[in-house]
């Protein structure tokens, strides 16, 4: 609480009491804390690869580069850490753009089934490399109105996560169902699963159940925050069902016709 006080003084300068105003600043404080956490997280995530890049470069310059094997292995680390920095900056800029007040979707009519086939083609070699089977089924060719580029980004993110968090020999199925005025996309994996109490947190920026695993797989912890924003910008809805060590199902519900264009 923030408290303001002022004396209540009568006509003859006598004290009649004190006026106290209690101002509930819980929400403000929460917002301020979230902002501080975000800045701290960003700084930490940026500093880690930079420290590593500097450290390995300095060691090389101090003489370690005379050994060919060391040179190669250190340069590989430097390249990987630069890649991580690049992905992080791209995700951060993207999130800040999406979160801005004036952010506009680029709406168009397109065939979602065709789009998902493109997504499957993009990710199939990654799934193959990891020995995870990737399958797809769709009710029929479903037309929808939405931002093609952004929704493609959403599904690439979700399926990429499914591949990342499913061990070899596991499987992923993507299904599109027609619900009349809406449609549903389900991404089901037989992966590591998520503990029930962690589920509400995974959409938070930088929240990762296992930081080391996420980092090693190239994750930034921003993917699901971006996904949720984009689905909500489409007036859609995302939900998760998961069982630890059994698998996870992400369900996305979207309108076929963008709701703002409806007269109702």
Letters for 75-114 (x = contact with ligand ADP by CB under 6 A, - = none) are ----------------------------------------
By the 8 A CB rule, do 189 and 152 touch? no
Letters for 176-215 (x = contact with ligand ADP by CB under 6 A, - = none) are -------------x-xxxx-------x----xxxx---x-
Residue 89 CA to residue 53 CA, distance in Å, equals 16
Nearest distance in Å: CB 236, ligand ADP: 17
Which residue's CB is nearer to ligand ADP, number 29 or number 47?
A: 47
Residue 252 CA to residue 240 CA, distance in Å, equals 9
Which residue's CB is nearer to ligand ADP, number 42 or number 65?
A: 42
> DSSP string spanning the chain?
-EEEEEEEE-TTS-EEEEEEEEE--HHHHHHHHHHHHHHHHHHHHHHHHHHHHHHHHHHHHTTGGGSHHHHHHHHHHHHHHHHHHHHHHHHHHHHHHHHSTT----EEEEEHHHHHHHHHHHHHHHHHHTT-EEEEEESS--EEEEEHHHHHHHHHHHHHHHHHTS-TT-EEEEEEEE-SSEEEEEEEE-SS---GGGGGGTTSTT--SSHHHHHHTT--S-HHHHHHHHHHHTT-EEEEEEETTTEEEEEEEEESS-GGG---
Which residue's CB is nearer to ligand ADP, number 29 or number 44?
A: 44
Nearest distance in Å: CB 35, ligand ADP: 19
State CA 187 to chain mean position distance.
16
How many residues bind to ligand ADP according to rule CB under 6 A?
A: 22
Which residue of 223, 236, 255, 258 would you call a contact of ligand ADP, by CB under 6 A? 223
Asked if residue 138 binds ligand ADP (CB under 6 A), the reply is no
Which residue of 154, 162, 183, 188 would you call a contact of ligand ADP, by CB under 6 A? 162
Which residue's CB is nearer to ligand ADP, number 110 or number 203?
A: 203
Nearest distance in Å: CB 118, ligand ADP: 20
Letters for 228-257 (x = contact with ligand ADP by CB under 6 A, - = none) are --------------------x---------
Q: Which stretch binds ligand ADP (CB under 6 A): 19-27, 122-130, 142-150, 217-225?
A: 217-225
Which residue of 221, 234, 236, 255 would you call a contact of ligand ADP, by CB under 6 A? 221
Beta partners for 20? 5
- By the criterion CB under 6 A, which residues form the site for ligand ADP? 161-162, 165, 189, 191-194, 202, 207-210, 214, 219-225, 248
């Amino acid at each position: 609480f923030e408290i303001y006080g002022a004396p209540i003084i009568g006509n003859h300068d006598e004290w009649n009491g004190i006026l106290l105003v209690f101002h509930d600043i819980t929400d403000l404080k929460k917002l301020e804390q979230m902002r501080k956490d975000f800045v701290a997280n960003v700084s930490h995530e940026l500093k880690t690869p930079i420290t590593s890049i500097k450290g390995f470069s300095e060691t090389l310059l101090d003489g370690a580069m005379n050994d060919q094997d060391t040179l190669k292995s250190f340069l590989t680390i430097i390249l990987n850490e630069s890649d991580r920095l690049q992905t992080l900056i791209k995700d951060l800029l993207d999130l800040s753009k999406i979160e801005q007040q004036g952010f506009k979707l680029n709406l168009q009519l397109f065939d979602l089934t065709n789009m998902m086939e493109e997504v499957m083609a993009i990710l199939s070699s990654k799934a193959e490399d990891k020995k995870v089977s990737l399958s797809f089924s769709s009710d029929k060719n479903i037309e929808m109105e939405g931002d093609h580029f952004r929704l493609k980004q959403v599904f690439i993110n979700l399926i990429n996560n499914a591949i990342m968090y499913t061990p070899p020999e596991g499987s992923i199925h993507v299904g599109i169902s027609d619900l009349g005025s809406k449609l549903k996309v389900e991404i089901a994996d037989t992966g590591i699963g998520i503990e029930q109490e962690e589920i509400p947190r995974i959409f938070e920026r930088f929240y990762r159940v296992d930081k080391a695993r996420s980092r090693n797989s190239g994750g930034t912890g921003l993917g699901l925050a971006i996904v949720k924003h984009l689905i909500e910008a489409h007036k859609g809805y995302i939900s998760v069902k998961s069982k630890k060590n059994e698998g996870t199902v992400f369900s996305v519900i979207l309108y076929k016709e963008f709701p703002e264009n409806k007269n109702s």
